[in-house]
Structure 1
Amino acid sequence: MIYQCSGCNRTTFETTCPWCNASQVPPSAELHPQQLTPLDPSFYPDFQYQSKGLIKDFLGKKKEQAQLNELLNNVLRKYAQLKQPYFTNFIHTTRETSSGGSDVGVPGPRLDGVYTERELFREVLIRKGFDELEGLPSLLDKLLQTTSFNSVYLGFSRELSRHIRDDLAETLRSWIEEAGTTFRSDLALFYFYLWENDISFPDVQFNPQAASIAGVPLMTLAAFQNALKFCESIYFDILVQRLGSQLEHFNPNRFITMYLVDAMDGFQFEAFLVEIFQTIGFDVKETKKTADQGADLFVTRFGKNMVIQAKNYTGSVGNAAVQQAISAKAFYGCDEAMVVTNSYYTKSAKDLAATAGVRLVDREGLQSYLDDYNQKLIEVFQAEVEEAG
């Protein structure tokens, strides 16, 4: 099975995150529900028998495993029935996937009369027959995380399907050219997609037991690390070829430099950001120039919506821009919020953004977007030359 780590957002076939655990002292060998989210809820540790010692295992393992299997089958059946529309719609309407450990353990009304949407959602499910949530209050949080992970994977699958070729190296190259450095965090998703869709390549071997046995990885860690090295070599080659192409086809009259960005006014900067995000593969929608509730434009990719606040400044960007992005995210119900500037941020703005989960793109970050944008211009120029020749 495949898991997503909530700590680093990477995907892995291991039951503990190889990247996060490498930095822990001592590393945790136990699968924590907040650490790794399986794509399939049948791989929750709640449904796997935990050894109680040789004698107790001998006396009660078979009976307890049968009880766990019955519980699992009931949960999976009800989850399959209620996943659409209840779980998915709850995530999309509230933008919630994680409780943060503050859920009330016992469902039902209380004297204080204050209820979170998650509590109300749990009651909706219980009244629909999902009574397991009364005995396993943490199960709701896990099912919501899995639903969210499923949503990410579906968006990833739609994108990846366009890159499948007859050869593994060609497939990886096509995907990495578009994905950029995200291949490092999504590589397990890539191989899971191949396995799930029965796409075979001579160099790829999967463990058939991984589909049914918890703890058995789809690929060995060594094989996965070798695949990561292979992808890194492909990415390195892409960068080298891009630089060579830039040196050969550079046309200053068609390129956008940071100095040109600095000369733009606010409206021109917003319009240019629309071009940038569209060019690098996002669906973009501008907001009206009045009453935009702190939003300058919206971008969408992999099924996730992000609101962007654009600040073309000569000085540092402070808390106000971050607060506007936070308000716009809540007002429009977006998954993420971002502030983009051609300048830099104050320390307080960075602290507020880190607390609120707002992505900040400063002058250096914007330069990387410009590099991608200019690279796309090169590719268009090359295509035009080839067509003319």
Structure 2
Amino acid sequence: MIYRCSVCRKTSFETQCLWCARISTQGAGSVQSTGLQVPLDPSFYPDFQYQSKGFIKDFLGKKKEQAQLNDMLRNVLNKYAELKKPYFANYIYTGRAGEAETQDAATPGARVNGSYSNRELFREVLIRKGFAELEEVPHLLDKLLLTTSFNAAYLGFATEISRHIKGSMFDILKSWINEAGTSFRDDLSLFFYFMWDHDFQIPQVPFTQQASTNFGTPLLSWDTIKTWLHECERIHFNILVERLAVKLEHFDPNLFVTMYHVDAMDGYGFEKFLAELFQTAGFDVEGTKLSGDQGADLFVTRLGKKIVIQAKNYSGNVGNAAVQEAIAAKSFYSCDEAMVVTNSYFTRSALELANTTGVRLVSRRELQVYLDDYNQQIIERFRASDRIDAPTAQSASPGS
């Protein structure tokens, strides 16, 4: 009963995304635009729910049609559960699931002079594994792949959030937001789903238990989510104020790295600094034997995902070539993701290519965020060492 919007990527308990819904007035009417709501549990796709056809037809045919839907659902989900690992999960991790749907033929099987997308081939693999329903309903494959991707994201989120579960609700939220930053705006519903899924009792949060079995019934009301979102915004604001206060008190220009320092680095220095930057952010970092080897400057790993990074310390804009090198390196080294990091900006064509191929681009603006976190870690280390030294100073004071 939790969904992730295919457009804004935010999670919610609603069957329509209320986060990205935009109302544009056109004369006396209005048009509402939202993304596809991808459920964590595939049984909550609307395709598996009976659609009302009016009182008379519902009275005469609902039971029979719902029984047919239930049979199809049971068959598909049983096979999905068996093949989710390794077939579905591995297909997601190969990075092939995002190919354009226009390449796929509506009818499975071979055709004259056929050019087949990887998804078409995957569909045929599943049909031969017993998914006969995919011959009837080809778009069902896309839905199952989206759900698999959402499950993979939730697994990573659950691993991360479990480290913050201690103390009161306020303590948990503060610990999470302190580390995750503004991602709470996207994942607040996912946070509450985790709490419900792990049977945490929260008096302030009125979960609707029937939501797990009733399609269209939200686990938490939209008003409750908005109330907690405002509370999270207050927590985030206070964290930012506290950080700035500490920074102003302990700022040392000799320790902090500014973007101007980064601009002055040569290519090798930039790669070395990125390694330190990602290590500070909690990644395992591995350099390549030779700088630029097969389009890879760094490898970073977190939560089992290996990312290849192409580093570009430029004074001008970074173009398509860097994105192409990252794509080639991802394939050559069998990485899960590819990233290009620069102290500059990207050309429009580089942005379009990256968006099509799933390469993540970190421009000067995003790099500044990493830089701020890096400098914040310096402050945190300073504060930690200050706390460690405090008892020693006290014991040395007169009269102790």
Fold agreement, TM-score > 0.5: yes
Give the Å deviation of 1:131. Answer: 1.5
Residues 1:343 and 1:124: Cα distance change in structure 2 (over 3 Å): closer
8 Å contact 2:96–2:119 — kept in the other structure?
no
8 Å contact 2:345–2:364 — kept in the other structure?
yes
CA distance in 1, matches of 2:100, 2:345: 33
8 Å contact 1:95–1:333 — kept in the other structure?
no
8 Å contact 1:95–1:335 — kept in the other structure?
no
Give the Å deviation of 1:292. Answer: 2.2
How far does the alpha carbon of each residue in 1:346-366 deviate from its partner, in whole angstroms, 9 at most, with x for none? 444344444444333232322
CA distance in 1, matches of 2:286, 2:38: 32
1:27 aligns with 2:32: yes
Cα-Cα RMSD: 2.0
How far does the alpha carbon of each residue in 1:51-77 deviate from its partner, in whole angstroms, 9 at most, with x for none? 111110111111111111111111111
Show the counterpart of 1:362: 363
Letter matched to residue 156 of structure 2: G
Task: Note the 1:100-119 alignment, pairs <5 A.
Answer: 100-119=101-120
Of 266-275 and 287-296, the range deviating more from structure 2: 287-296
1:220 aligns with 2:214: no
Tell me the SS of whatever aligns to 2:94. helix
Letter matched to residue 372 of structure 1: D
Give the Å deviation of 1:218. Answer: 0.8
Show the counterpart of 2:15: 15
Show the counterpart of 2:378: 377
Letter matched to residue 45 of structure 2: Y
Q: With structure 1 as the length reference, what TM-score do the two structures score? A: 0.93
CA distance in 2, matches of 1:340, 1:8: 23
8 Å contact 1:316–1:343 — kept in the other structure?
yes
CA distance in 2, matches of 1:220, 1:98: 36
Residues 1:196 and 1:126: Cα distance change in structure 2 (over 3 Å): same
Residues 1:99 and 1:37: Cα distance change in structure 2 (over 3 Å): farther
Show the counterpart of 1:314: 315
Give the Å deviation of 1:290. Answer: 5.1
Paired positions, count? 385
Of 64-73 and 189-198, the range deviating more from structure 2: 64-73
CA distance in 2, matches of 1:13, 1:101: 31
Task: Note the 1:227-306 alignment, pairs <5 A.
Answer: 227-289=228-290, 292-306=293-307
Tell me the SS of whatever aligns to 1:217. coil
Letter matched to residue 6 of structure 1: S
8 Å contact 2:104–2:116 — kept in the other structure?
no
Residues 1:193 and 1:348: Cα distance change in structure 2 (over 3 Å): same
Of 339-348 and 187-196, the range deviating more from structure 2: 339-348
Show the counterpart of 1:386: 387
Which structure 1 residue ranges, 5 or more long, are not aligned?
none
8 Å contact 1:94–1:333 — kept in the other structure?
no
Larger Rg: 2
How far does the alpha carbon of each residue in 1:187-244 deviate from its partner, in whole angstroms, 9 at most, with x for none? 1110110010001122111111110111111110010011111111110010000001
